Structure 1
Amino acid sequence: MGHKMTEEEWRAFVSNGTRTGKLATVRADGRPHLAPVWFVLDGDEVVFNTGAATVKGRNLARDGRIALCVDDDRPPFAYVILEGRAQLSEDPGELRHWAARIGARYMGEDRAEEFGARNGVPGELLVRVRVDKVLAEKGVAD
């Protein structure tokens, strides 16, 4: 039986290492769309970027509701599900800054600027999601 994580625990969990998020968005016909994303926490917001022309980019522009699942698939298992509504920006400075921060998390500080330059370009979206709801459990198999 799992145990609920505290706010401090779930924040540390989702920020640990290079765990990806599994992002759920809503397609125009109501079906879910699921895709992995690199992300960082910025206060009470999840921040990631995506192409404006991707399925998730188009979904977010039309309907900003999201759910993001971050999990540990090793026993005793744990997961965090964050829900909220996305706000989109195409501001070049913000895009490049956050693309670099995200790149640093997943590829290392020495490659941060490379990923900022690659992903902080026209056609990309900066996505900020204010977390409205959290479901977080650890020790699921205990």
Structure 2
Amino acid sequence: MRPMNEGQWRSFVRTGTRTGKLATHRKDGRPHVTPVWFLLDDTPDGEPQLLFTTWHASLKARALLRSPRFALCVDDQEPPYSYVMLDCTARLTEDPEELRHWATRIGARYMGEDLAERYGARNSVPGEYLVRATVHEVLAYGGIAD
């Protein structure tokens, strides 16, 4: 097992169509983990930011509105196994232009360019949130089975 440097973990998180496992907590304190499609992008200052969409009535949206701290784990389920865990703080917006832009980019990653616009339209309707998150801490290891 070896730690990943910043370039390695950023590349790992951006590769392919790996889903993120989003960890929040319910109102009663119980943990809640759900898969999400996401993008890792850079702020104008070059800092990493995580982006995904969620429906306003979903448990994850309600949890993030109540408490914006969350963790996201992205892993490789093939040997030699690797993972990246991001500790983040969310900001939710309903801005239609931002939402459409990022929902389309997320659609391109997971559904392909030919379906990106359709996915973007489907996931930028009233009631949908764009979650833009600041990454505070990263734990990243590769070659776990080595």
TM-score, normalized by length of structure 1?
Answer: 0.98
Query: What RMSD, in angstroms, separates the aligned Cα atoms of the two structures?
Result: 0.6
Shift of 1:38: 0.2
**Structure 1 match to 2:104:** 100
Could you tell me which runs of 5 or more consecutive residues in structure 1 were left unpaired when the two chains were aligned: none
Shift of 1:29: 1.2
The alignment partner of 1:10 has SS state of helix
Q: Is the Cα contact below 8 Å between 1:26 and 1:65 reproduced in 2?
A: no
Structure-to-structure mapping, 1:1-142, within 5 angstroms: 2-43=1-42, 44-142=48-146
Listed one character per residue, the Cα deviations across residues 20-42 of structure 1 (whole Å, up to 9, x for unaligned) are 00000121111111000000011
Distance 2:143 2:121 in 1: 39
Runs of 4+ in 1 over 6 A off after TM superposition: none
C-alpha separation between the residues in 2 aligned to 1:75 and 1:63?
A: 35
Letter in 2 for 1:11: R
Counterpart code for 2:113: E
Structure 2: which amino acid aligns with 1:67?
A: A
Helix, strand or coil at the partner of 2:90: strand
Aligned residue identity for 2:116: A
Give, in whole Å, the separation in 2 of the partners of 1:130 and 1:26: 18
Identical residues among aligned pairs (%): 62
Q: Which amino acid aligns with 1:83?
A: D
TM-score (norm 2): 0.95
Q: Deviation per CA, 1:50-107, whole angstroms, max 9, x where unpaired?
A: 0010000110111111100000011110000001110000001111110000000000
How far, CA to CA, are the matches of 1:77 and 1:8 in structure 2?
18
Letter in 1 for 2:49: E
Aligned to 2:45: none
> What is the number of equivalent residue pairs in this alignment?
141
SS in 1 for 2:114: helix
